[in-house]
Structure 1
Amino acid sequence: MHVETPASTGRRSGRRAALALVAIATALPLLGTATPSAGAAAPAAAPFDPGDAAKFAKLNKQIEQLEKELGGDLAKLKDAQYAAKKAHLKSRVLEKDLIEARDVVARFAATKYMMNGEDPTVTFLSSANPSELLSNASLVSHLAQNQATKVEQIQKLVNDQVQAKKQAEAKMAEVKKEIQDLRSRKTKIQSLVKRYKPESPSTGMGGVTPRMLKTKNTLDLEFGPFPTIGCVRSTGDPQDHGTGHACDFMVTTGGVMAGGSARTQGDQVAEYAISHAGALGIKYVIWRQRIYDMRSPGWRMMENRGGNTANHYDHVHISVF
């Protein structure tokens, strides 16, 4: 028959408290452990609405409609749309982290309230077996020393969420501005589009349209040879490539950023395409993370897509009407 002694009871309660303390210590590094008073509510951390999903969906529909009216793929507008979506997703992730942080702080506050306002770590120390006190006291000391850091962490999370919300709103505003700009130029753009009779996808020419084939052959004759010219594809985000209205004129291989003679070749191709856009029916040119759209002339920087090929540093992309 086992008889409970004060020492064994103390050891058991000490072990239970130690486990509870370790659980709290595991949860706290991401949070800040502001010490709420007994019965106090958890720190307010209301989630943000990063960009309003309904408004975002509405803008996407407007983009689709404009593409039908203004000659197809609006890469310049799609780039602004990409930036808004990226900012929106970042804000959503931070919002989720903030909600989780709030929940853990609320549980900590509830635990303290149920213990009549006493700090669980203090209660543990007072009931722990003296032989276990040193190691457990060290753990509590570690928590106390890192208190300021934890408070800074949760504050940074709140600040990051505020900034992400502002960035998402700013990117949404850029999309709206691009849409307004295109609409203000709608008559001129439609007049430009009317100059070029729509062409059907072809067979026997690799799937490119006759206009794209003419542009490809002209540029190859003027500035070739190129390491390769890629036109029709359906993988990734094909856009005009999928309908045979675009080709990529590679000036390097293996994703290497163009420099020296390769960059000169790319510059010449881009400049020629822009200056002869009217004769060739060119819609837009992308080169070195910049886009020049004939429907809204002028070079404009694009979002960073994360690589030389994705950012068009190794090839010139040309789309035709």
Structure 2
Amino acid sequence: MRQKTVRRRSAAFLALLMAVAGLAFAVATPASAAPGDTGDDGEGGSKTLIQQLEAASKGYVDAQEALAKSKTRQTQLTAKVKELDTQLGPKQAAIDEIAAQAYRTGRLGPMSALLTADSASGFLDRAVTLETVAVKQQAVIKDLKQTRDQQEQAKLGIDATIRDQAKQVSVMAKRKAQAEGALKAANAGQDDPQSTDGGSSDTSGTFSGGSGTVDDPTSGGRITQRMLFAYNQARAAGFTHYTHCFREQNSGEHPKGRACDFAADKDGFGGVATGSSKTYGVNLANYFINNSSRLGVLYVIWFRRIWLPSSGWKSYSGGNGDPSSDHTNHVHLSVK
């Protein structure tokens, strides 16, 4: 009887120990920890690395936008040159005709008008005709000169845009090297391509806001107008799972209102995404990539990878090894 009582007490004690241990394990596990709650500031890298990536990507994106504008300007100027070319032909022909006529008949001047006039009224008529012809000739010559000047300015403009494009391409190359160098120094950044299936390009909206901040719909903080635009565009595209944007931390884009974390699970940050949750994250990451120029994307982090506009997917796992630090439970988006 006593032995049975001892065994029962021992079993109960062991069960209690297991329950306490299980509770302790449940508390300690970071599986459901939100980004930023595990000590790495939520972006998976050191403060120095994040600052380097931010500066490099912003410089690259700015140069990329300047390059696109320069190419558009070059196209416009080239079209203008062609238009002026078509105008020059007839105008030059009019000048040539005036010169040829003067050569054949002699230029009508005041003395010839006086000598050939048969009366005072005839002289006045010829004088008026002389003035009219002179005004028309001057107008034709002036018009031709203006067209040639416009053509020359357009050609100079094309040369300037080509020089500007070379400058922007150089800046982009330097910024790419800066980003990849920072990743390499952090023992990360190996090429790690990922499928871009899913998350199609979207042309339904263009950012036209300013540089100020607005209320963050996911927290009590503030985010930039561009970040709110990207957030709303993603939701309009069907990516409506739990999202959190503004967050106080020591580095990165969240405290600047330029980043959001998009959970792979529907209702919050869970463990490592699998199945439909992982598919959701892949599609969302690719949505941001496919619309990077329109949204002003600096970088996307997802499943131990970081996507940079300059370099594509690179390996990236500088966090604490938990799902939030490794970004295996959410997609991180930073915008300029």
Given the two structures, how large is their TM-score scaled by the length of structure 1? 0.40
Larger radius of gyration: 2
- By relative contact order (CA 8 Å, sep 6+), the higher-ranking structure is 2
